[in-house]
Amino acid sequence: MSKNSSRLSRRDILINAATLAGAAVLAPPFAQPLGAKPRFGANPFMFGVASGDPLPDGVVLWTRLGADLEDVETWGLAEPSYKLWWAIYDAETPGRAVAQGDAIAAREKGYAVHVEAGELQPGRRYTYRFWCGDEESPLGLTKTAPAAGSDAKLRFGFCSCSEYENEFFHAYRAMAEADLDFAVHLGDYIYESPYEHFRITRGRSTARRLRYDRYTDAM
């Protein structure tokens, strides 16, 4: 079997990991402290998850809590801050946590969380997830950069300049299905409608809706 044919695709990895997650194999690899847990009216991970800035031994993980896209003051959240837990799993052997930790999602930072995870292996795929109280985020897939000096062959996808109100985002769906190693966004991330006057608040609302779009989330 060739090296390429033996490689698990992005789709295979996520399907296998999701199947194991359904069997509680990807439950938090740690015990959360006893005491009152935060309660939410809906899953607060509506912005999904993302990862980037890969190094040979680490990646950046991102998420953002939110329950109401239109509430730009509190995002529909009652508390000024929440404690989150995160874990990274080896994508080839789902269920084995290789890194874990906690972080704070604070209102003054828009409830965004930025985790610099380290001590990973170069050129390897990992899945990851966040938890807050009894709620969990979607399962994410990431990959570390190859070791310095290696001759690894990589597949990149590039995108730029989006306009949410007048286009469909099938290109993002295609990228998500293309089994890429890395995606590079060249900017601009989004254009609001350039054909009429609009308020800045409208532009920000459009950007939030784009982040919530199922195609951009899949990529």
In angstroms, the first-to-last Cα distance of the chain is 29
Tell me the pLDDT band of 167, cut-offs 50, 70 and 90. Answer: low
Cβ atoms of residues 128 and 51 within 8 Å: yes
Given a cut of 90, whether residue 178 has pLDDT beyond it is no
Which pLDDT belongs to residue 111?
95
Kindly state the average pLDDT of the residues 158-182. 79
Residues in contact with 18: Cβ distance below 8 Å, sequence separation at least 6, in sequence order:
139
What percentage of the chain has pLDDT greater than the value 90? 45
Count of CB atoms situated within 10 Å of the CB of 152: 10
How confident is the model at residue 101, as a pLDDT? 94
More confident residue, 147 or 31: 147
Domains of the chain (ranges, CATH numbers): 8-152 (2.60.40.380), 153-219 (no CATH)
Angle at which helix 170-177 crosses helix 10-22, to 10 degrees, equals 80
Which band of pLDDT confidence, cut at 50, 70 and 90, is reported for residue 4? Answer: very low
Confidence of residue 24 (pLDDT cuts 50, 70, 90): very low
Bridge partners of 114, per DSSP, are: 62
| CA distances to 2, 6, 23, 43, 156 from 132, in Å | 42, 36, 20, 9, 33
Closest CA to 83 of 42, 41, 140, 28: 28
> Does residue 42 register a pLDDT over 60?
yes
Q: Is residue 118 within 8 Å of 90, Cβ to Cβ?
A: no
Distance CA 76, CA 60 (A): 26
Q: What is the pLDDT of residue 71?
A: 83
Q: What is the CA radius of gyration of the chain?
A: 18
Which range, of 44-48, 73-77, 178-182, 204-208, averages the lowest pLDDT?
204-208
Q: What is the overall mean pLDDT for the chain? A: 79
pLDDT in tens, 50-105: 999 999 999 999 999 998 878 878 888 999 999 999 999 998 876 778 999 999 99
Tokens of 124: 């390897």
Q: Which residues of 199-217 are buried (b: 16+ CB within 10 A; e: fewer)?
A: eeeeeebbebebbebebbb
pTM for the model: 0.76
